[in-house]
Amino acid sequence: MSTDAAGGVSGGVRFRLGRIPVHMPWSSFVGILVIAFFWLDSFSLDGASSTQTVLLAAVFAVLLYVSILGHELAHAWVAGAVGYPVTGITLWMLGGYTSYEKAKNSAGREALIAASGPVSSILIGVACNVAASTSLVTDPRAHVLLVALGRSNILLGIFNALPGLPLDGGAVLKSFFWAVLRDERRATVITAWSGRVVAVLIFLVPQYIRWRQGGAPDVGSILIGLLVSSYLYSGATASLKQAQIAERVPTLSARALARPAVAVVHDTPLAEALRRREVAGVSVMVVVDAEGRPRAVSQEAAVEAVPLERRPWVPVSAVAVALDPRAVIVGDLRGEELINAMLAVESQLYLVIDADGAWVGTLSRHDVEAVLAGHR
């Protein structure tokens, strides 16, 4: 799987393949154990000991993860070839994903990156099957490993080609609708809903086929089906939320979201500062130094914690949090420009200034996030 969003997974093992950082969180090692367990019966060779069977299953599980890494390296190679810098590969319990930075939005490039994954998996599977059929492979253990790897990689390629996000086939389908509709957000919505349908069918269809054939319910297949389907459904839902956020980004405006504030000198008694705030009809007090330069912003929780009888004796600076001098936003910024400016300086609070450098209020990260989440 490929994605232009970096994952926030921590812990595990990290290494590099050339310039590409690879991360294996602890869940990937759990995945290796799960794969080895469910494929155990496939390696019960005639006359083989149980220890050999377990070892073969373990070797297969590790090699399958190597194949998945090959799948992700295909994404990474194509992404680099089309000019998208690759930031890393993550392998986890149900597969992996490649993170890269978009140099520019391009439906064609996205389709190429996405399609490279399933194609690479199928090619790896075909190569394993061809190797298994040659006369050079005489050891039955090597033969059974190659056959299992061939079958599993081809199935992995077909599975990843299914037409719904977050699968690679969904990303290709999204690129198609994106090119036709010339609207990436609408294309994402369509293929995210397609991904939800695919997720439900992946669970229901095998159970239906088993029922039609007169088979009894299998707890193992039900659990695996639920695990895979829930992963796909949650991934499709995440894509849908991202599309909704993308729709709200253009509505962001630093000036519109800025909270008007009144300036108070740092040593002003809290009671007097609150009086000035009430007269000004605002909710925020910006604490300035003797030269009038903004230094801090009042915190309502800290204000409320000061008893009424002590407010004439407590300076307003005691209930304020310092402003990061770099956290300054121009009021004319909108949409992606506003988000990029906020990402450049991580802060919970920003000072909003006009074109002349005069401050007009404060901008809270929480208010921006509320707009993106649809809560405002």
Task: For 8-46, write each residue's pLDDT tens digit.
Answer: 456 889 999 999 999 999 989 999 998 998 888 889 887
The mean pLDDT value for 216-221 works out to 78
Q: Which domains does the chain have, with CATH numbers?
A: 2-250 (no CATH), 254-372 (3.10.580.10)
Asked if the model's pLDDT at residue 90 lies above 60, the reply is yes
The mean pLDDT value for 141-170 works out to 96
Higher pLDDT, 90 or 376: 90
Residue 58 tokens, joined: 């373990």
**Residue 7 binned pLDDT confidence (cut-offs 50, 70, 90):** very low
Q: Among residues of the chain, what percentage have pLDDT more than 90? A: 73
The mean pLDDT value for 159-167 works out to 95
pLDDT, residue 6, reads: 43
- Pairs from 320-328 (Cβ < 8 Å, separation ≥ 24): 320/285, 320/287, 320/296, 321/296, 321/297, 321/349, 322/295, 322/296, 323/294, 323/295, 323/296, 323/297, 323/349, 323/351, 327/351, 328/352, 328/353
Residue with tokens 């992700």: 72
The mean pLDDT value for 330-340 works out to 93
pLDDT, residue 223, reads: 86
CB-based contact 79:86 (threshold 8 Å): yes
pLDDT, residue 3, reads: 64
Asked if the model's pLDDT at residue 325 lies above 60, the reply is yes
What is the tally of helices (H) and strands (E) in the chain?
12, 12
Whether pTM exceeds 0.85: no
Look over the chain and give the mean of its residue pLDDT values, rounded to a whole number. Answer: 91
Burial class (CB in 10 A: 0-12, 13-18, 19+), 316: buried
Calpha distance 42→21 (Å, rounded): 34
